[in-house]
Amino acid sequence: MAVVLDLLNRDPRANAGNPKAEVKPELRHPEKQKRPENPILRKPDWIRVKAPGSPKWAETQKIVKAEKLVTVCEEAGCPNIGECWEKKHATFMIMGDTCTRACAFCNVKTGVPEALDAHEPRKVADAVAKLGLEHVVITSVDRDDLKDGGAEHFARVIRAIREASPGTTIEILTPDFLRKPGALEVVVAAKPDVFNHNLETVPGKYLKVRPGARYFHSLRLLQQVKELDPTIFTKSGIMVGLGEERNEVLQLMDDLRSAEVDFITIGQYLAPSRKHHEVVRFVTPDEFKSFETIAYVKGFLMVSSTPLTRSSHHAGEDFAKLRAARAAKLGD
């Protein structure tokens, strides 16, 4: 799908000298503007989060803003931002705030990205050091405009963090590097501790939910990480409530285990707006618990399955459990 941006009206300088000219607000999702509005279901009692605003939250925000960094916590409208930032946990989103894809579920801005910031690896590393993070999560927008999809930039960020904070463990949540030969090898060679790539939904929903991606390519990407470096933990997550069937979720679990994925996260989909994919239903806490039980039986080392589970939620604590689970398994 071609996305045309009105760059002239977006830039205030275009109307310089014309006091009557109206500057149009920037559209985060221009490709969704002509879509029909979906109904918004009332959230059940189990979807409740703490509002941000504590002193520690403000301190985290100050550090992020001082380094002029982007976080997925803000851009994706994560419901857990209050809890995480109070603990000085933030997921840094590199390579800008504009994505070249247009997934139906995502709140990250879509359009034509700016050039990469060559100083970003150092800025992220400085922020990690200032926050004193024991575990950090680095994610990114999709950058289909770049020859390597941003793989070398990911590697530079990892290396910068290692240099500035040698004791910090690093988890990355990457795009799929679709049609970017050699990109995955560059990222894996930088040796992150956890390689996360989300399948997001079951294969039958890809055409509507994630049209720019390919289910089996994403699955193969995760499998290749293990082939390239078996010591790296692999992780993937999905949303439920998009209209998928239970048996489709169970089959997806089997697919991930066939790719030797260690950790699965399952959370409730929450629509960012009426223009995004609708919430078909709210999955109950009991159903999430059932998914957790089944996933452990299928052989995952670590499972997080709750309504408010997100890829980076409790990532540090979960990494410690993941490492302990591997050690226990090897001990057997």
Higher pLDDT, residue 58 or 325: 325
Higher pLDDT, residue 90 or 289: 289
Gap between the Cα atoms of 187 and 153, Å rounded: 9
Going along the chain from its start, the domains and CATH numbers come out as: 49-331 (3.20.20.70)
Gap between the Cα atoms of 1 and 213, Å rounded: 13
Gap between the Cα atoms of 34 and 102, Å rounded: 14
pLDDT for the residue 52: 72
Gap between the Cα atoms of 142 and 210, Å rounded: 12
Q: What is the pTM of this model?
A: 0.86
Gap between the Cα atoms of 276 and 102, Å rounded: 10
> Whose CA is closest to 224, among 189, 264, 193, 185?
185
Least confident residue range of 211-220, 246-255, 305-314 = 305-314
Higher pLDDT, residue 283 or 14: 283
pLDDT for the residue 68: 78
Place of tokens 């509507």: 208
pLDDT for the residue 51: 66
pLDDT for the residue 84: 76
pLDDT tens digits for range 259-277? 999 999 999 999 999 999 9
Confidence of residue 88 (pLDDT cuts 50, 70, 90): low
Confidence of residue 10 (pLDDT cuts 50, 70, 90): very low
Confidence of residue 298 (pLDDT cuts 50, 70, 90): very high
95 token code pair: 């390579």
Q: Are 141 and 154 contacting, i.e. CB atoms less than 8 angstroms apart? A: no
pLDDT tens digits for range 137-153? 999 999 999 999 999 99
The count of residues in the chain is 332
The DSSP call for residue 220 is H
Is the model's pLDDT at 307 over the cut of 80? yes
The DSSP call for residue 277 is P
Q: How far apart are the first and last CA of the chain?
A: 51
> Whose CA is closest to 304, among 263, 274, 243?
263
231 token code pair: 């010591």
pLDDT for the residue 186: 99
Gap between the Cα atoms of 4 and 210, Å rounded: 20
Query: Which segments of the chain are extended strands (E)?
Result: 91-94, 98-99, 109-110, 135-140, 169-173, 194-196, 233-240, 263-268, 302-305
Q: Are 179 and 145 contacting, i.e. CB atoms less than 8 angstroms apart? A: no
pLDDT tens digits for range 165-208? 999 999 999 999 999 999 999 999 999 999 999 999 999 999 99
Mean pLDDT for the chain overall: 89
Is the model's pLDDT at 327 over the cut of 50? yes
Q: Are 138 and 131 contacting, i.e. CB atoms less than 8 angstroms apart? A: no
